[in-house]
Structure 1
Amino acid sequence: MSSGLFDLGFIDYVIIAAYFIFVLTIGFMLRKHTQTGEDFFLSGRALPTWITGIAFMSANLGATEILGMSAGGAEYGMIQAHFYWIGAIPAMVFMGLYMMPFYYASRARSVPEYLKLRFNEATRGVNAIAFAGMTILVAGIGLYSMGIIFRAILGWSLTESIFLSAIIVLVYVTLGGLTSSIFNEVTQFFLICLGILPVVIIGLYSLGGWDGLVDKIPEGFSHAWGDLGTTDNSLGASWIGVVLGLGFVTSFAYWTTDFLVVQRAFAAKNLRSAQMTPIFASFIKMFIPAITILVGLVALAVFPDIGTNGTSYNMALPLLISEYYPIGMVGLGITALMASFMSGMAGNISAFTTVWTYDIYQAYIKKDAPDSHYVWMGRAATVGGVALAIATSYMAASFPSIMDYMQTLFSFVNAPIFGVFLLGMFWKRMTPWGGFWALVSGITFAFIFYFLLPVEFPTPNAGNFWRAWWVWVVTTVVGIVVSLFTTPKPEKELKGIVLGAGKYRSYKGFVWYKRPGVLGIISLALFVLINIIFW
């Protein structure tokens, strides 16, 4: 029934079909609960921490992440885990403890809207346009990735794969809005655990456990920090580049300002739940390498010629599924991949829809329409966003590396906005025009650095790390200089949205496991322990 890598049985097709029916059913069931703008775009700000926490983490766990990081594990080893550990955990904890109170107190419906409240309309407009464009490009990457993988493993054509997933996402996001996306992200997480984790366990068992795996992979592939004393490693960057470029700028820029993930915390039922959302997610994020990096290491041990015999590293996970899974389990593994592809795309589309509707359409095209009109526009924007994503999916085919393409996009948009946020949230003297010119200068310098400056880096990863660092430096310097020569907002307009301009919420009366600060410390302690173990 298939001309691809797998010969699927009847039960496999039943499992795949059942998933499609399930996600469509969620969309239809949630339609009656998405009548207002806050329902459609922010899930009514009523979801519990465990749901928003899983969604916060899962929004970043698309199939490009699973396949790309599995490929990275096979090609580079445990050093790739920096994207999960130093490249995520500190930023997620910082987001929950120090940035989420300002976001939530502002009652902003999006990250660009917060920028309007903190700075001015011009700053909001620049960020909204840049972010909307980036989300469409990233959604297109997800569609293209799904197309090339399912062409290989199921024999489907690129166009069939792209249009099928696009139609499914279009239906359930149009009907259920953000709530539909979030519930599918939660479903995706459990499907990934059920569909992919067993292949790691089976693979490790067949290799004789961790020690047996280490014996069959190149020396140093089981360590994360050991080779970072110089740039002579697979990342092409020393520890200082990893710490500054990835651990500070790129990580914090993504996890604290990218509306794709921040939107999930906005949907929480109260401030404490919103703060707990990224902290709860950090505990899960720490162990995601078990279903990404370890997949690549096991694949390298089982298929030592991968990457050198015409077989792409991107096929690490599909090859293991084909090797170890019987009929029925294959369907579950394929469904997990499908869920991650479509969930990642849905997250980008729902974020695009919110920013387009509130920060572009309402702000500049139709300001005073009733709430029902903006819900209608949100659904129309979903259709338009999916159509644009289909178009950009073919653009992604022109880039040799999907993961490098994504990291480059993030350095263009997220690094400058992080510089603006860091100054804006923690320095009352930052002025509206300081924020605007800092953001414009950062984005402009990112393009100049990438396209015009003749700087050679050992690897694309090293280039992205250092570009992000210098873009942040330029953004910060411009923001400070312009602010010193322009007029700040009165402190009364900054109440609750800037450090020192309002009272900070305390949770001293709560039990320890309900206090964001305590859980944040525990998360950071585990983060340090894991890095020591895999040093």
Structure 2
Amino acid sequence: MTWIDYVVVAVYFIVMIAIGLWAMGRVKGQEDYFMGGRGFGKLLQTFAAFGAGTGAHEPIQVGRTGWTSGLSGVWSALMWLFVTPVYWITAVWYRRMRHLTLGDWFVERYESKALGAAYAVFAIIFYMFYLSTMLSAIAKFAVPLMGIDQIAGLDLKYVLIPGLAGIVIVYGVLGGLTAAYWTDLIQGIFIILLSVLLIPYGLWALVKEFGDPSTQGFMDGFTIMHERVSSDYFSLFTGPSAGEFPLQYIVALTLLALVGIVVQPHFIATGGGSAKSENEARIGLVVGNFLKRLCTVGWAITALIALALLAGRPELAVDPDLVWGIAAREILGPLNLGLVGLMLACLMAAMMSSADTYMIVSSALITRNLYAAYVNPSATDRESVKVARVTGLAIIVGASVVAITMANVFAQFTFAIELPILFAAPFWIGMFWRRANATAVWITIVFSALFFFILPLVIPMLSPEMRTDPAWTTTTNRIVKSIKRTATPADVARHEAWGEAMEQAKDDKKLREKIGAEPPQCEAGDPIEVILVSGDKSIFWSGGVKPVGEESLEMISTVRDGDASILTQRRTGQLQGEGQFKLDFLLYHYIGVDLANVSKATLETLRLPTRVLLPFLVLIVASFLTPRTSESVLDRYYAKMKTEVDPDPETDRRNLEQSYNDPKRFEDRRLFPGTDIEALRPRKSDVYGFAISVAVCFVVIALLVWLAGIGAA
């Protein structure tokens, strides 16, 4: 980075702080601080949903999976695509709740102050881990851009992460959600720039490097990209990594995301609760998230360009997470226009636009569902806002500590994304079924916490011999697929990069293992044999298995499939399990399901039935065995959730009073009248909006396939 790049970053920071100072004067009470007075229109709601939903780790993640899996790697972020149409329905729920936190919703629906407190604790842990992934991603991205990995003898992350946290704290703590939303508008523009900036410059870099700039334009970069990269990298559902994202895995990821996303704490604000009306809530949430899906298309095309341009980089043979940073440095750096600094600011915007909202929502939960509920029930609005500012700081500091001390970004992200299992079933069922009650919810939370998080850690501690028991160290079969095809220039470059990386690694055994097997040595146009190795994944251990002493591979079968040969092997010898024990896979073991021949993606897909269905089943059964919630409380709650929000607060208050006085006024609109199911018949706007959103999902996929296909032979 040059001085002009640092100036761009500095100006960006100054503008963010100035917005926080401006917004501070607009905060009069809790509703202003936590919800911006519920006065946001379509534009700010759109960019709030876009900013909060777009993490700094996602472009880097797509860059990595695009490097290893080609176009199919886009599903590492695009898995949320078919969740988006459901937002057209859920946005109405969050606005009709008329609450400041989702903890307040649990208190009202289940008559339990303790449930609100438990949800607040969940939110704190969730955000510390989820936000830490973004801080870690920024630190990794910045190293190749800044060209340094240390400042004053300290690793860059020890300086950069606290610095970023400090900026977020200043403008977010001062200005509350209003500051967060206005900065999200600016940061959203930066994120869009991040998503498209490398494409035209990258295509032109391909022309300059491998084409003829005197006769070719930047669009010819697409043709060069296809000439340099094998066609299997351009498949949306299969790829060079033996189908890392097949269709069944994408469906499973979508369902898991759908079940859990509704209880992510920030959805009470960005999901529609801060909007002027239901219409603003819906349009803001859906359009904002479709903006993100379009940005994901840009990330995928950028990854393909990087594949064609940077295949010879040895550092990428070692760590594909560096794809985005190195691409930005190599493509934008030579221009010396401050674009490298702009790219770094853009990625910081992706992190900060999420962090500010997460911080404010978390501080609202701590203030309302812990402090006001148990410490000072008579706290004034002024006192509550002071507490919120202090506790919001704690969330960012906690996330920074996790980011600095926990090296495994994927582990941080996985833990955070699975936590909503605890509250997902109580939310979905409580939204529609009167029979669900607080006792049943506690049973479900305790069951989910034990079954999915606590026992998988505790059982191996109590019975360490499990780690070497052959019954539990089984793996899926190792599949070696040999494919013959013509070598591309990228194949040649990859082999050269591998050689340089192995030379640099020298006697570092772990690093050499990370670099992996030698790619085919070839010249462009030569017939080559590409070896794809898949399977050999531990069935019962989250950290896999490692050999104890000598190990060997036993051949099971070898078959031919057209030009490809497929060798199936089984690992033998004593093994030791690492990480947590997958307790839910005992179900498949005891009903006799043979998992030896399934792929890694199918193994992950099989987590869906247990993680989604078991909590729902436990809650339903427990609800039938425990006392109901008070009928008067349920009548009041469901009457409120059926009353459309009026943008005028006074009119809305009168409409609510009418519903409270006559809870049966919407009986004629119920889908199942006379039952405990409180779902209403969908309106035309519900059906049309949902259908259009589904159609847009296919438009996004068509756009991605079309862009990736430009220049193909």
> How high is the TM-score relative to the length of structure 2?
0.66
Task: State the distance in 1 between where 2:617 and 2:682 align.
Answer: 33
Question: What is residue 453 of structure 1 aligned with on the other side?
Answer: 582
C-alpha distance 181-356 of structure 1, shift in aligned 2 (>3 A) = same
Are 1:259 and 2:250 counterparts?
A: no
**Which residue, out of 614, 630, 634, partners 1:474?**
614
Task: State the distance in 1 between where 2:601 and 2:421 align.
Answer: 15
Moved more, 312-321 or 466-475: 466-475
Are 1:223 and 2:223 counterparts?
A: no
Question: What is residue 358 of structure 1 aligned with on the other side?
Answer: 368
Question: What is residue 279 of structure 2 aligned with on the other side?
Answer: 272
C-alpha distance 442-102 of structure 1, shift in aligned 2 (>3 A) = same
Are 1:72 and 2:65 counterparts?
A: yes
1:424 is displaced (CA, Å) by 1.5
C-alpha distance 468-356 of structure 1, shift in aligned 2 (>3 A) = farther
Question: What is residue 188 of structure 2 aligned with on the other side?
Answer: 189
C-alpha distance 121-215 of structure 1, shift in aligned 2 (>3 A) = farther
**Which residue, out of 134, 138, 151, partners 2:130?**
138
Are 1:44 and 2:37 counterparts?
A: yes
8 Å CA contact 1:404–1:460 kept in 2: the answer is no
Deviation by residue 1:267-322 (Cα, 9 ceiling, x = unmatched): 11112212222222233133122332222221111111457755421221222222
Flag structure 1 segments of 5+ consecutive residues without an equivalent.
1-6, 509-514
Are 1:393 and 2:403 counterparts?
A: yes
Bigger fraction of residues in helix: 1
**Which residue, out of 87, 91, 97, partners 1:106?**
97
C-alpha distance 529-147 of structure 1, shift in aligned 2 (>3 A) = closer
8 Å CA contact 1:70–1:317 kept in 2: the answer is yes
Task: State the distance in 2 between where 1:32 and 1:387 align.
Answer: 25
Are 1:117 and 2:108 counterparts?
A: yes
The code of the aligned residue for 2:46 comes to G
Q: CA RMSD in A?
A: 2.9
Moved more, 31-40 or 335-344: 335-344
C-alpha distance 466-184 of structure 1, shift in aligned 2 (>3 A) = farther
Bigger fraction of residues in strand: 2
Identity between Structure 1 and Structure 2 (%): 19
Question: What is residue 303 of structure 2 aligned with on the other side?
Answer: 296
Flag structure 2 segments of 5+ consecutive residues without an equivalent.
208-219, 457-541, 543-579, 586-594, 643-662, 670-679, 706-713
1:473 is displaced (CA, Å) by 1.3
8 Å CA contact 1:437–1:482 kept in 2: the answer is yes
Question: What is residue 281 of structure 1 aligned with on the other side?
Answer: 288
* 1:159-198 alignment runs, 5 A limit: 159-198=158-197
Question: What is residue 4 of structure 1 aligned with on the other side?
Answer: none
1:498 is displaced (CA, Å) by 6.2
Deviation by residue 1:172-195 (Cα, 9 ceiling, x = unmatched): 011111221222222112112234
1:429 is displaced (CA, Å) by 2.4
8 Å CA contact 1:88–1:252 kept in 2: the answer is no
The code of the aligned residue for 1:138 comes to Y
Task: State the distance in 2 between where 1:460 and 1:26 align.
Answer: 47
8 Å CA contact 2:124–2:362 kept in 1: the answer is yes
Deviation by residue 1:28-70 (Cα, 9 ceiling, x = unmatched): 0000011210111111111112211221122121211221222
8 Å CA contact 1:441–1:474 kept in 2: the answer is no
User: Rg: which structure is higher?
Assistant: 2
8 Å CA contact 1:299–1:316 kept in 2: the answer is yes
Question: What is residue 530 of structure 2 aligned with on the other side?
Answer: none
**Which residue, out of 244, 251, 263, partners 1:243?**
251
Are 1:406 and 2:413 counterparts?
A: yes
Greater relative contact order (Cα < 8 A, sep 6+): 1
C-alpha distance 234-288 of structure 1, shift in aligned 2 (>3 A) = same
Task: State the distance in 1 between where 2:314 and 2:255 align.
Answer: 31
C-alpha distance 144-268 of structure 1, shift in aligned 2 (>3 A) = same
C-alpha distance 78-469 of structure 1, shift in aligned 2 (>3 A) = farther
Question: What is residue 692 of structure 2 aligned with on the other side?
Answer: 522
> How high is the TM-score relative to the length of structure 1?
0.87
Are 1:495 and 2:647 counterparts?
A: no
C-alpha distance 198-149 of structure 1, shift in aligned 2 (>3 A) = closer
1:125 is displaced (CA, Å) by 2.7
Task: State the distance in 1 between where 2:599 and 2:113 align.
Answer: 38
Count of aligned positions: 510
Question: What is residue 532 of structure 2 aligned with on the other side?
Answer: none
Deviation by residue 1:451-498 (Cα, 9 ceiling, x = unmatched): 233759989876665445422211101011001112333241332466
8 Å CA contact 2:316–2:323 kept in 1: the answer is no
Task: State the distance in 2 between where 1:174 and 1:63 align.
Answer: 21
Q: Secondary structure, in 3 states, of the residue corresponding to 2:236?
A: coil
C-alpha distance 12-266 of structure 1, shift in aligned 2 (>3 A) = same
Are 1:484 and 2:496 counterparts?
A: no
The code of the aligned residue for 1:124 comes to G
